Amino acid sequence: MSELLLEVLCEEIPARFQKKAALDFERLAGDTLSKMGLTFTACTAYISPRRLALVVTGLPAATPAVTQERKGPKVDAPDHVIQGFLKSVGLTLEDCTRQETPKGTFLMALKEIPSQKTQDVLGPIFEELLVNFPWPQTMRWGCGTKGWVRPVHSLLAIFEGAVIPMTLRFGEKEGAPTIVSGNTTCGHRFLEPRAIKVTNASDYLTQLKDAYVMVDAQARKEMITTQLSHLVQEKGLVVKDDPGLLEEVAGLVEWPVVHLGTIASSYMVLPPEVLITTMRVHQRYFALENAKGALAPFFGFAANTVTSDEGHKVVQGNERVLKARLSDALFFYTQDQKVLLEEHADALSKITFHAKLGTLAQKRDRLEVLAKKVAGVLGFDQTQAALAARLCKADLVTGMVYEFPELQGIMGGYYARSSGYGEEVAAAIAQQYQPKGPEDALPGSLLGLIVALVDRLDTLTGFCAVGIMPTGSGDPFALRRAALGIIRILENEMFKVSLPTLLGWAYDLYAPLLQASGEKILTKEATLDTLLSFMKDRIKVLWRDQGIRHDYVEALLNVVETPLSQFYSKLTAFQNFVQSSRTKAQELLEAYRRGANIVRIEEEKDGRSYADVSLQESLMGEVAEKNLFNALKRLDQTLTPLLETSRYAETFDALLSLCEPLDEFFTHVTVNAPQAEVRQNRLALLARLKVRLEKVAAFSTLEDL
Amino acid sequence: MSFQDIILTLQAFWAKQGCVVLQPYDMEMGAGTFHPATTLKCLGETPWSVAYVQPSRRPTDGRYGDNPNRVQHFYQFQVILKPSPANIQELYLKSLKEIGLDASLHDIRFVEDNWESPTLGASGLGWEVWCDGQEVTQFTYFQQMGGIECAPVSGEITYGLERIACVLQGLENIFEIKWNDPKSPTPMTYGDVFLQNERESSAYNFEHADVTKLHRQFEDAEEVCQNLLAKGLSLPAYEQCVKASHLFNLLDARGVISVLERASFIARVRALAKGCCEVFLGESR
């Protein structure tokens, strides 16, 4: 059993590509080897900023001989078809076997593929795999026409201690970069740049380690963690947990050497989010915390080298960079606070929300009205809601958010506080962009929920009205995320307001702007239709994972006036109802379908509707007919208070009172009676039944229970 | 090493590598990339190696000389190697050593940064080079210029001279950079040479640039550029394009360009740059 070692040495691979590249390499190598019939015990990829490596152990010395089967045309197919097949497989008619099938006798070509030495097949398959490696982004260099993630410098390819002859060609043209395999690599760019001769995988890993290269990303992460925790312990601090940053930093160094730097106390007045963003996003520094969880005036970072002054100049340099960045931030923070947040909000008229949807000032005005309306429904302080909504986008014109766009909202919160708007408004502004994803928490207060809701309603409705909705893969304005945010907020019991009402308000607020702009826009009705079906899809996706049947969602959501918060309890009630009375419920569903069908067919025939025809008891000759009429009347009386108070379990149970009268009706009553008035009266009765049931749920969309 | 010695050393180094050493282009531009020796010469198949200093103007970055790290006029040292040689990273690191940026004392790293110039219709992949966490160089393999694919690919090295000088001289304020030998009879700092210019130019850029005239000049430059392109004169046309680009930057600094207009201004400059690149390529063939 033998071992394969490959290493591509190249210029610095972006950190964000590394983890996936290692996984891809393992997977693709494994698949390719298996396809050749080559078994192996382990296939491990390694990645560092300058290398992508692979070790496969336990490979056999040769590929197995295999017989490949290929099915051809029928034996009685036209001659040219048979000849074509024979030519394609390189056999004569005599070489082919016959296969009997129910569809006839077919020609079958069996081709022996002889065993090949493993060392001979590895070269070609890995040349192909490496040159076409699935990097998310590639570039050309020199005279090359074929790209790779960054320019390639050498290829180490060893099988059983010997070099596998391989050539990587990055283009067809003369002078295109061409890399020929060998048995050498080199060490750390600065600490040990000499060539290293390699014989096998363990030798490779050891020698690289001696040459200051830790090619195993996991090991680099551990080096960073260990060194960092050692340094911070001395100061009684802890590292703010940040796995994403650790992953990235490990992708920026081949030999991590961790240092601590100091932050001048004058910058510690900046909000922690500003300090952390500056350190993390711009400098890839680790934020440190003291025992109380407050940000400490130090930062940790990993250099890629050991210097002769033990990092003295490196630390000094990094402190200088951070200082420059923080002094810029402090400048903006001070400047921004010279003006009240309300005044910043005035400058929103200079910023376009979207080319077709006006300025942010216009959005601000809409949000203010919308927040007031929503607060009204919720019984929440309308002035407070309007104020928070009015101010929520103001930070977009501040210097700080211009420099740090990722701090939008957060800065608004700070500036609201310093402008004296109170903690509740500040928190609502700070949390308006939550939830940012399915795992993210909702805003923590009702005011926060209102602001978050109206912002998303406005965005979604506006884009839909001008015909911009997410497509299969494209959602540049994150409308799906906005919709999910809306759904999650509206699941909250306090929001006793239906989606069409909310979307309708949002649309009405846009109407003057859109009409004045002369843009081609959707009508309110069309916008709401599109949005409701879009939202329904989002709801179905969201709840499918909870095991809720899509037709239940469809049937109950079709009832347009159900607020989402009540929808969930209604859905639960319906599920319980079906579970406890499945047979009866199914009976009811079938009776509904039967009645609805009759009404539909007769209405089509007569070219009129029976829904509004008033019922006349005097025309009801049959007992069963009268019973159904009375049952419906009683049900009407029962249902009204139940629905008004959202007592859904009782609502569904009440429907069962119709089962028996319906059964009797369909057994004893002929709907299409000879007398016209009697027939019409019966059709009207069934039409009323249909309407009544559909007010509870869209029975038409339910599949069998 | 003084500021001017850094320049002289880099020039000597790249001259030794066979580069044509040019002088700055005599027009206002936002970066060394706008010099026709980069924009136009990286098109087509003819090999080309060049090194030059280019004063770069970024009106919006002006801070009246108050900010120790931001200025509206600064220097870039630009190197273009076409086609990019296999040892381009090595050459670059060697040049750092020549100016005294010692890898045994500093942490030098290549951190992903993909470059894009919407006004030039250009893009490339590469890194920003960090020295102790400070970006000191932009290192790019050009993939596209003026919407035209670069084949062969040029390697571009853009040194941020002030930042490198700060690292070498251990400074936190670029106005303190020693411009010439401090022991000379007339020692000069960067501030001595440029502080007044920063103050006055910031005032001009932010307060006094005449918006109406700038608008008119932009339109004139655009029109002249198009007329010259129609006559097949790519280089004079390109000068008008560079002019338009700088006028747009001035208008931007005056804060009179809305987000919407911004996109349309950029598209107009890009159309000019694209036209220049196409005509240049057609004429030089």
Distance from CA of B126 to the nearest CA of A (A): 8
Q: Which two tokens stand for residue A531?
A: 């949005």
Cβ neighbours of A587 (radius 10 Å): 18
Q: Which of B67, B61, B58, B76 is nearest to B172 (CA)?
A: B67
- Give me the residue from A139, A304, A314 closest to B125, CB to CB: A139
> CA B255, CA B242: separation in Å to the nearest integer?
20
Cβ neighbours of A79 (radius 10 Å): 7
Check: CATH 1.20.58 for A575-701? no
> CA A328, CA A423: separation in Å to the nearest integer?
27
Do A394 and A415 contact (CB within 8 A), yes or no?
Answer: yes
Q: Which of B280, B267, B277 is nearest to B119 (CA)?
A: B267
State pLDDT tens for residues B140-179.
999 999 999 999 999 999 999 999 999 999 999 999 999 9
Q: Which two tokens stand for residue B136?
A: 């000191």
- Give me the residue from B84, B103, B107 closest to A141, CB to CB: B84
Q: Which of residues 293-332 of A touch B (CB under 8 A)?
A: 301, 303-305, 307-309, 313-314, 316-318, 320-324, 327-328, 331
State pLDDT tens for residues B33-60.
999 999 999 999 999 999 999 999 999 9
State pLDDT tens for residues A34-70.
999 999 999 999 999 999 999 999 999 999 998 888 8
Do A519 and A463 contact (CB within 8 A), yes or no?
Answer: no
> CA A153, CA A136: separation in Å to the nearest integer?
20
Q: Which of residues 416-455 of A touch B (CB under 8 A)?
A: none
Fold of B210-284: Methane Monooxygenase Hydroxylase; Chain G, domain 1 (1.20.58)
- Give the best residue of B45, B108, B132 to mutate against chain A (max A CB count within 10 A): B132
Q: Write down the H helix ranges in A406-523.
A: 410-418, 423-430, 446-465, 479-490, 499-517
Q: Could you tell me the CA-to-CA distances from B257 to A348, A350, B248, B260 in Å, in that order?
A: 14, 9, 9, 8
pLDDT at residue A288 tops 90 = yes
Instruction: Tell me the mean pLDDT in the region A246-268.
Output: 97
pLDDT at residue A419 tops 50 = yes
State how far Cα A411 lies from the chain centre: 26
Q: Where are the domains of chain A?
A: 2-62+117-210, 68-113, 217-336, 341-547, 575-701
Contacts of A154 in chain B (CB under 8 A): none
Contacts of A175 in chain B (CB under 8 A): 83, 152
> CA A494, CA A499: separation in Å to the nearest integer?
14
Q: Where are the domains of chain B?
A: 3-203, 210-284
Do B282 and B146 contact (CB within 8 A), yes or no?
Answer: no
Q: Which of A486, A479, A343 is nearest to A416 (CA)?
A: A343
A636-639: Cβ within 8 A, 24+ apart: A636/A692, A639/A692, A639/A695, A639/A696
Distance from CA of B26 to the nearest CA of A (A): 30
Do A599 and A686 contact (CB within 8 A), yes or no?
Answer: yes
Distance from CA of A124 to the nearest CA of B (A): 25
Query: Terminus-to-terminus CA distance in chain B, angstroms?
Result: 44
More confident residue, A107 or A557: A107
- Give me the residue from A142, A151, A317 closest to B152, CB to CB: A142
Torsion angle, alpha carbons of A358, B215, B224, B229, to 10: -30
Q: What is the DSSP string of A377-412?
A: HHT--HHHHHHHHHHTTGGGGSHHHHH-GGGTTHHH
The per-residue pLDDT for A477 is 86
Question: Do A283 and B69 count as a contact with CB atoms less than 8 A apart?
Answer: no
> CA B119, CA B11: separation in Å to the nearest integer?
29
Q: Which two tokens stand for residue B66?
A: 């108050």
B138-169 as b/e: b if 16+ CB within 10 A: bbbbbbbbbbbebbbbbbbbbbbbbbbbbbbb
For chain A, what's the residue count? Answer: 705
State pLDDT tens for residues A614-628.
888 888 988 999 999
Q: Is the peptide bond before B118 cis (omega within 30 degrees of 0)?
A: no
Instruction: Tell me the mean pLDDT in the region A228-257.
Output: 95
Share the mean pLDDT of chain A: 92
Question: Do A314 and B106 count as a contact with CB atoms less than 8 A apart?
Answer: yes
> CA A492, CA A565: separation in Å to the nearest integer?
6
Quick check: A175 contacting B, CB < 8 Å?
yes
Do A598 and A686 contact (CB within 8 A), yes or no?
Answer: yes
Q: Write down the H helix ranges in A622-675.
A: 623-644, 648-655, 659-668
> CA A213, CA A36: separation in Å to the nearest integer?
33
Q: Which of B224, B240, B226 is nearest to B275 (CA)?
A: B226
Quick check: A516 contacting B, CB < 8 Å?
no
State how far Cα B81 lies from the chain centre: 16
Please name the residues in contact with B230: beta carbons below 8 A apart, sequence gap of 6 or more: none
Q: Which of A48, A29, A349, A101 is nearest to A209 (CA)?
A: A48
Residues of chain B under the 50 pLDDT cut: 285
In this structure, CATH architecture of domain A341-547 = Orthogonal Bundle (1.10)
CATH superfamily of B3-203: Bira Bifunctional Protein; Domain 2 (3.30.930.10)
Distance from CA of A267 to the nearest CA of B (A): 16
**Which amino acid makes up residue A77?**
A
The per-residue pLDDT for A200 is 94
Pairing mode, strands A152-159 and A2-10: antiparallel
The per-residue pLDDT for A173 is 87
DSSP B150: P
Nearest CA in chain A to B101: A313
The residue with tokens 């010395």 is A61
Q: Which of A186, A185, A188 is nearest to A212 (CA)?
A: A188
Do B204 and B60 contact (CB within 8 A), yes or no?
Answer: no
Q: Which of A279, A21, A14, A47 is nearest to B127 (CA)?
A: A14
Percent of chain A with pLDDT over 70: 99
Do A73 and A85 contact (CB within 8 A), yes or no?
Answer: yes
State pLDDT tens for residues A650-690.
999 999 999 999 999 999 998 888 898 999 999 999 999 99
Instruction: Tell me the mean pLDDT in the region A190-197.
Output: 95
State pLDDT tens for residues A576-632.
888 888 888 999 999 999 999 999 999 999 888 888 888 888 889 889 999 999 999
Q: Which of A305, A298, A287, A294 is nearest to A245 (CA)?
A: A287
Nearest CA in chain B to A350: B258
Do B174 and B182 contact (CB within 8 A), yes or no?
Answer: no
Torsion angle, alpha carbons of A522, A524, A526, A528, to 10: 130
Query: For the CA atoms of chain A, what is the radius of gyration?
Result: 36
> CA A563, CA A397: separation in Å to the nearest integer?
36
- Give me the residue from A14, A140, A142 closest to B86, CB to CB: A142
Instruction: Tell me the mean pLDDT in the region A381-402.
Output: 94
Q: Is the peptide bond before A435 cis (omega within 30 degrees of 0)?
A: yes
State pLDDT tens for residues A486-514.
999 998 888 888 899 999 999 999 988 88
DSSP A48: E
The per-residue pLDDT for A561 is 65
pLDDT at residue A132 tops 80 = yes
pTM: 0.81
Size of interface A-B (CB pairs under 8 A): 118
The per-residue pLDDT for B285 is 47
Q: Environment class of residue A404 by beta-carbon count within 10 Å: exposed (0-12), middle (13-18) or buried (19+)?
A: buried
**Which amino acid makes up residue A127?**
E
Cβ neighbours of A344 (radius 10 Å): 21
State pLDDT tens for residues A296-348.
999 999 999 999 999 999 999 999 999 999 988 998 999 999 999 999 988 88
Pairing mode, strands A184-186 and A195-197: antiparallel
The per-residue pLDDT for A259 is 98
- Give the best residue of B112, B127, B163, B172 to mutate against chain A (max A CB count within 10 A): B112
Contacts of B258 in chain A (CB under 8 A): 350-352
Q: Which two tokens stand for residue A48?
A: 């560092």
Query: For the CA atoms of chain B, what is the radius of gyration?
Result: 19
